[in-house]
Structure 1
Amino acid sequence: MCRDEYFSYYLYKFLARKSLVSKSLREALEEAAEDEYRHYLFWRGIVGECSSKLVMLKVLFYVVMFYLFGLTVLLKHLESKERDAAKIYKEVTGLRPDIRDAVEGIAVDEERHESAFLASIDESRVRYIGSITLGISDALVELTGIYTGSLGAFENTLSAGLAGFLAGVAASISMGIASYAQAKNEGRARPELAAFYTFLAYIAVALLLALPYFVISSLLAAFIMMLILAVAIVAYMTFYVAVLQSRSYLREFTEITVLIFGVSMLLYVIGSTLGNVLGVKI
């Protein structure tokens, strides 16, 4: 607990200095940092010195997480850790009645921090997470299927890469228009942003999955690298959504990965069959 409070103090101080943080959230983070330092001093008086270099490594890990996933996901993840800490506080008050009031005060502070953070956060990519997820999921399923089918229909990586990327560009525009129409029919504010995020997510995945085919000459090696990138994108997306919506990360990751590989295998069989029957090799 002492080390966790020390860690939270440094992390909140770091986040409060970032220019991307709104004024209201910066004030909430600065206040939380002061509280966490006071909590750290309290626990240090009971258990002794607890700061260490490992704490700074943990802070570095969460800084990387901040840049990869954004502030909302980071704070939501920390929120789940705070719930675990609340359980420990209850156990401590049972073992040490003499510090019950102080520990209960710390628990109240933690709950106040959580409420202040959630009230101050407003990231557009979180508000449009449904549109982003739609673009990424659709791109992964369709494009991995196309590239898998290309194993039986294409003879070189450039042709396969161009076919997949051009299909991705066309599909990204189509998905953007569909997302705009859906958002408008549902009466959502700024449907053009929903369309933009869907288009951007789709085209980004299309570019990433096509990249191996433009830099690797072996069709099989490019395909394997494409699958690795696809799984990495799935891991990123499912972690993001799982944290925001308090879902099981492993279950979400497994479901989407199985779906992608299932579609890929089916289209490989179809592509190979058509290539052999029609005698077409591009």
Structure 2
Amino acid sequence: MSAAEISKKLSSQTLKLLQKMQVGELTEHLIYTRVADIIEKRSPENAAVLRRVGEEERRHAAIWKSYTGFEAKPDLHKVRRTVLLARIFGFTFAMKKMENGEESAQKTYGRLFAEVPEAERICADEERHEQELLAMLDEERLHYVGSMVLGLNDALVELTGTLAGLTFAMQNNKLVALSGLITGASATLSMASSEYLSARSEGRPDALKSCVYTGIAYLITVTLLVLPYLLLPAGAYLVSLLIMLLTVVLIIAGFTYYVSVAQGLAFRRRFTEMASISLGVAVISFIIGLIVKQCLGIDV
């Protein structure tokens, strides 16, 4: 029985579902193609992977069209959004995020098996080939996630504790910001140089890149944590402290989400672990700041 004959027997609900899937396949074809164009020069192997997956999506859309007779158009909003993510966070993150969203779509295929003969083959094809191809995706920045985690985590733990302790010891935003910037700048250089020496001692040829990623992650974290103390009035140190702690949680959530998507790791456990350590150190340092201020009788 031909696709046209089968389509006449399909329910309206199934036809709508097939049309939706047709739009999705065309959208993904366009996304893969555009991202491949972006990375063609710097990563031709990965561009070839994306083009292969994109061509597969285009063929799937053609199969659905043979059943629906529907002239589908891609979701250009999703295309632009995903391409933007690829430019900002890297193509691996964007592609993995898109594929994670597709996992729920796999369940949809099960509803079509009885009515559409091609559905089971396409489902198996997507599960096998797309994941296999996407597993080949590789990106330089992901090689240095360990270095970024080192810089980020060290900055969060050290600066969160330092700023929390200084907040009640000094009770002045400008003094806290001054101390935080000096501490952060020296700690950035110290951490980056330590990472470089560590990598060199291991005989790694990428020691310089590793230390640069560590230093950048540390410096960005320092800047974000000190910013509330720089922008708010000198007496609003409690507000600055709360904003700083909120910033810590957001940084941890954002970076953990990035790593969990790009590397396929569990988000909740990693987030809870990092947040507990950083905020725990902040609370301890906060208490130490109060004790030191009272014991030494210093009033700044």
Task: Using the TM superposition, name which of 22-31 and 130-139 deviates more.
Answer: 22-31
Q: Is the 8 A contact 1:140 1:230 kept in 2?
A: yes
Gaps of 5+ in 2: 1-20
2:43 is matched with which residue? 22
User: How far off is 1:52 after superposition?
Assistant: 7.0
- Distance in 2, Cα, partners of 1:117 & 1:99: 23
Residues 106-140 of structure 1 show CA distances to partners (whole Å, capped at 9, x for unaligned) of: 64366434444443x44221111101110001101
- Counterpart code for 1:30: R
1:69 is matched with which residue? 89
Normalised to the residue count of structure 1, the TM-score between the two structures is 0.85
1:112 aligns with 2:129: yes
- Distance in 2, Cα, partners of 1:24 & 1:143: 41
- Distance in 2, Cα, partners of 1:135 & 1:146: 16
User: How far off is 1:51 after superposition?
Assistant: 4.8
1:95 is matched with which residue? 114
SS state of the match for residue 171, structure 2?
coil
What is the aligned residue count?
277
- Distance in 1, Cα, partners of 2:151 & 2:272: 19
Structure 2 counterparts to residues 7-46 of structure 1, below 5 A = 7-18=27-38, 22-46=43-67
1:248 is matched with which residue? 266
Task: Using the TM superposition, name which of 126-135 and 55-64 deviates more.
Answer: 55-64
Q: Which has the larger radius of gyration?
A: 2
Q: Quote the RMSD (CA, aligned, Å).
A: 2.7
SS state of the match for residue 279, structure 2?
helix
- Distance in 2, Cα, partners of 1:81 & 1:47: 24
Cα distance change of structure 1 residues 219 and 33 upon mapping to structure 2, 3 Å threshold: same
Gaps of 5+ in 1: none
2:253 is matched with which residue? 235
Structure 2 counterparts to residues 1-282 of structure 1, below 5 A = 1-18=21-38, 22-46=43-67, 49=70, 51=72, 55-86=75-106, 88-89=108-109, 91=110, 94-96=113-115, 98-99=117-118, 103-104=120-121, 107-108=124-125, 111-119=128-136, 121-217=137-233, 218-282=236-300
SS state of the match for residue 17, structure 1?
helix
User: How far off is 1:148 after superposition?
Assistant: 0.9
Cα distance change of structure 1 residues 154 and 104 upon mapping to structure 2, 3 Å threshold: same
